[in-house]
Structure 1
Amino acid sequence: MSNDVIHEENACPINGITELLSRKWVFGIVKDMFSGKKHFNEFKEGKPEMSNASLSNTLKYLEIQEIIVKNVLENDSQTVTEYTLTDKGLKMNMLLYEIVLYGLYVLEDNLRSEDYKNEIRQAYEEILNIDDSKT
């Protein structure tokens, strides 16, 4: 079997995913959404260096990519905006999980105790809805 196809123009899916993930705040926002955050100000929590403009631009980019959907809810005199993951966004769970594992056990292997790494891994398994049979 030849692997020449991976070198053909537009045949490599790595370019598309690299474009998506190369944006600075994409991972943090998507991770936040997996952990239950839905509102603009919630995404800013724990990211003091992220400007409102950067957050707004990243949310809009994720909408255009159909990773998230913006819902504007109106009840009585209050308007609330919520962001939720689409099916396409939810399918990022395994990708994020593999990146977490690579970070914990390869890039930063000696920075944490094994118990702490396992605790972090288990927390990500929970929020990313990782099935134990896949790990």
Structure 2
Amino acid sequence: MKDKNVLPSCPVEVTLQLIGNKWKVLILRDLFEGTKRFSTLKKSVEGISQKVLTENLRDLEKNKIVVRKVYSEVPPKVEYSLTKLGKTLKPIIDSMYIWGEKYKNNNLEEL
């Protein structure tokens, strides 16, 4: 996890620092459905390269939002899932979904 002494003073900025790029949000969206293998995430997060997916998963893992489980078998099997901390982000992603759906459907008066 990022050192609390170097985190920004603004809580919104802290959240953005941890999950504030489109790839991380889309990875989280998919992991809320349950545990996923790397290849499944690669297919579901449209447009992400293998390198960028790997970097984002490592960053989420480093910040205790995602856990990586490696099975010792051939070929190697790796699964990703949300930690307890990661699951607490669900209301944020749900709010983004609701807002985006209203905007997309031109329900601007509901925003």
Range of TM-score over shorter length? 0.7 to 0.9
Paired residue for 2:106, among 110, 115, 118?
Answer: 110
Match of 2:88 among 79, 91, 99: 91
Rate the CA distance shift 1:71–1:37 in 2: closer, same or farther, 3 A.
closer
2:53 to 52, 55, 68: 55
Task: Indicate how the Cα distance of structure 1 residues 48 and 30 shifts in structure 2: closer, same or farther if over 3 A, else same.
Answer: closer
**Structure 1 spans left out of the alignment, 5+ residues:** 1-8, 112-135
Mapped to 2, the partners of 1:95 and 1:38 lie a distance apart of 21
TM-score (norm 1): 0.66
Amino acid of the structure 2 residue aligned with 1:88:
L
SS in 2 for 1:36: coil
Answer yes or no: is the 8 Å Cα contact 1:39–1:82 preserved in 2: yes
User: Structure 1 residue 49: deviation in Å?
Assistant: 2.0
Q: Which consecutive unaligned segments of at least 5 residues does structure 2 have?
A: 1-6
Aligned partners of 1:33 and 1:84 also within 8 Å: yes
After TM superposition, where is structure 1 displaced by more than 4 Å over at least 4 residues in a row? none
Instruction: State how far apart, in whole Å, the 2-side matches of 1:99 and 1:30 are.
Output: 12
Of the two, which has the highest radius of gyration? Answer: 1
Give distance in 2, aligned partners of 1:10 and 1:28.
24
Greater RCO, CA 8 A, separation 6+: 2
User: Paired residue for 2:43?
Assistant: 45
Identity of aligned residues (%): 27
Number of residue pairs matched by the alignment: 101
The Cα RMSD (Å) is 2.1
In the superposition, the TM-score normalised over structure 2's length comes to 0.79
1:19 Cα offset (Å): 1.5
8 A contact 2:36–2:79 mirrored in 1: yes
List aligned pairs for 1:114-129, cutoff 5 A.
none
The one-letter code matched in structure 2 to 1:71 is: K
* In 1: Cα distance, 2:22 partner to 2:28 partner: 12
